[in-house]
Amino acid sequence: MTAIKTPYTADGNVDLPAFDKIVEHQIANGVEALIVGGTTGEGHLLSWEEHLFLIAHTKAMFGSKIAIVGNTGGMCTGEAAVATRKGFAAGMDCSLLINPYYGKTSAKGIVMHLENGLKYGPGIIYNVPGRTGQDIKPEIIMSIKDNAHFVGVKECMGHERIKLLSDQGVACWSGNDEQCHLSRHVHGAVGVISVTSNIVPGLMYKLMHGSRDDELDSKLQPLYKWLFTEPNPIGVNTLLMQLGMAEPVFRLPYTFASKEMREESVQLLKSIGLQHCPTGAKGLQVLADSDFKHVLNGDDDDFPRNSFSQSWSGRVQQGTSLCICHVAPRLTKSNFDKDSHCFSVVTAMQVPRPTRFGTCRQERACAWRG
């Protein structure tokens, strides 16, 4: 699986055409699932409207070709549960659920927190103590592994933990790119949820699905190190911008890697082979510091019309609309009906504002033919 990047336009909104090109390259290189709005995809910098819309968009565009895992977990149990319910309403196939960060709780509290997310559909538990400050210990995982919606764990605690859980029948995806090859072939992992596969998806696929290939793994180690020299997703964001796959726009607090690192990355990718990487029209560039732009977020005043609907124009079959139920109570601007509980993105783009569907009582993504 790839923890897919979220690209932005110059005004700070989500860049759907760029996102689609990145995803198309993933699919062409064998990637089987995407984490949408994860740490790498900066879900924590997206509004819930943006986050859920991106899940719905990805499902509508690519759902027949790749599995969609929405990162709908969070620190607040109630918020995470609502987001997970709405994520499934928007069409995701599986959720990614994290334990409470900053506001840490007891072992029992972690179990209750995760179970409230697992109520709504299949879920992968995400254990990353380096970000949350709290380990989801094996006994916690074992207490929820028989839940009907439990899929497995994205495990960042290394080989020993993966082996311990795998030996007890828990499906584990490595959360550490630099370890994933041995985790997969020696310690029982079923795969990886990868940042590096944004850059070389075909090679990461080969590491997971081919026979053990220590030579290829060694060849990629310098790239792993480069990508995580600065906190993720700084490295992968910078590199996709250098490759021309995303505008050089960062939502703060993220910023670009240094010029020295960018120059090093050019040599790294040339040694691996640029044919393995997604590239835009201008190919791989170092870029100047002045090429990069920092924004706080998109233009909220006209959401969702300006943020998303213009990017959708002509990208989905004429006459099809998506309705995300009860997502955005604050969408009471002139382009949204105050008495409606739903908003839709009209893909034909021949109406001045989202079409009103009225109240949706089934709380699921709706396909509508006009």
Distance CA 186, CA 334 (A): 58
Q: 233 with 37: CB under 8 angstroms? A: no
Q: 288 with 238: CB under 8 angstroms? A: no
Q: How many CA atoms lie within 13 A of 264 on its CB side?
A: 13
Q: Is 8 a catalytic residue?
A: no
Burial of 264 (0-12, 13-18, 19+ CB in 10 A): middle
Q: 320 with 37: CB under 8 angstroms? A: no
Q: Which of 126, 145, 205, 224 is catalytic?
A: 126
Return all residues near 347 (Cβ < 8 A) that are at least 6 apart: 312, 313, 314, 315, 316, 317, 318, 319, 320, 321, 322
Q: 24 with 59: CB under 8 angstroms? A: no
Q: 133 with 101: CB under 8 angstroms? A: yes
Residue length of the chain = 370
Q: 286 with 269: CB under 8 angstroms? A: no
Return all residues near 318 (Cβ < 8 A) that are at least 6 apart: 347, 348
Nearest residue to 363 via CA among 323, 303, 328: 323
Q: Where are the alpha helices (DSSP H) in the chain?
A: 16-28, 48-62, 77-89, 107-118, 129-132, 138-144, 159-166, 180-185, 201-209, 214-227, 234-242, 259-272, 310-312
Upstream peptide bond of 233 is cis (omega within 30 degrees of 0): yes
Q: Is 254 a catalytic residue?
A: no
Q: Which of 8, 154, 205, 224 is catalytic?
A: 154
Residue 183: how many other CB atoms lie within 10 Å: 27
Backbone angles phi, psi at 98, to 5 degrees: -110, 155
Q: Active-site residue numbers?
A: 126, 154
